[in-house]
Amino acid sequence: MRLTLLLLCFSLFLSIASAAEKSAAQKALPSSGVVFTFDDRNMDQWVKQIPLFRKHNAKVTFFVDHFHTLKPQQIARLKKLQDAGHTIGCHGVKHRKAVDYVREHGIERYMEDEINPAVQRMTIAGLKPTAFAYPSSSRTPEIDQRLLKTFRHLRGGTGLPPTQRMRDLKPIFVPVDQIKATGCLIGTGIDYAGTQKRPHYLTEIKDAMDHAKQQSEIVIFYAHNISDKGPGHHLPPKALEEILAHAQQIDLPTLTYDDLP
């Protein structure tokens, strides 16, 4: 009898402790934020930006594909990014477009070929992913549902039509209290911001961040390499610095995918 009571008290204590932990985690979520994500296999360049991220107290998410082809040195760079507080997410085994692959082979083959092996390898390497970014933003709500059994959140994407302001791109903003219920977050691309290709983007991005701050929302962005000349799609380090400095200036905290409830 006494033992039962003791066990009851103990389990009550545990449940209170876990509830307290939960509310602490919820409290830790800021009233607004910005989620920066970078895709593909640009770890050789990403790792060089650790000091810049640190300077602006910014934490971001890197979505990696073809993990099985990475050299030990490249995996070490991802670990260095993770150790610096950033999040490493999954971007598929072979960067296949989800909608095409599922249409041809079905959802279970997609999971077996494109998702599970990547998650397993990353987990063994100490880089367990909690999130997935769709290659080419190719997705459907049905595929979302299946992937959300493996990942806490996903990332899709949307482009910015030439005539639209970034702050009016509804899908890239999520009210903080709706993050948990929003499995797939939608980002917009910010590569080439401030370059001749997209000279007005820096203003647009800052304005979108101001909007997120005012509305108590998070805003989601994606880019690829962080460099002046590629290879591949890239965001120049100077542009990144200007963007991170602005976030800091308006007191808009950065969130990684691992920070999201």
SS3 of the chain: the string is: CHHHHHHHHHHHHHHHHHHHHHHHHHHHCCCCEEEEEEECCCHHHHHHHHHHHHHCCCCCEEEECCHHHCCHHHHHHHHHHHHCCCEEEECCCCCCCHHHHHHHHCHHHHHHHHHHHHHHHHHHCCCCCCEEECHHHCCCHHHHHHHCCCCCEEEEEECCCCCCCHHHCHHHEEEHHHCCCCCEEEEEECCCECCCCECCHHHHHHHHHHHHHHHCEEEEEEECEECCCCCCCEECHHHHHHHHHHHHHCCCCECCHHHCC
Does the footprint of Zn ion cover residue 204 (CB under 5 A)? Answer: no
Shortest-Cβ-distance residue relative to Zn ion = 39
Residue 66 or 80: which CB sits closer to Zn ion? 66
* Ranges within 115-154 binding Zn ion (CB under 5 A): 135
The number of residues that bind Zn ion (CB under 5 A) is 3
Q: How far is the CB of 133 from Zn ion (least distance, A)?
A: 7
* Ranges within 17-46 binding Zn ion (CB under 5 A): 39-40
Residue 32 or 42: which CB sits closer to Zn ion? 42
* Ranges within 82-111 binding Zn ion (CB under 5 A): none
* Ranges within 162-181 binding Zn ion (CB under 5 A): none
Q: Applying CB under 5 A, which residues contact Zn ion?
A: 39-40, 135
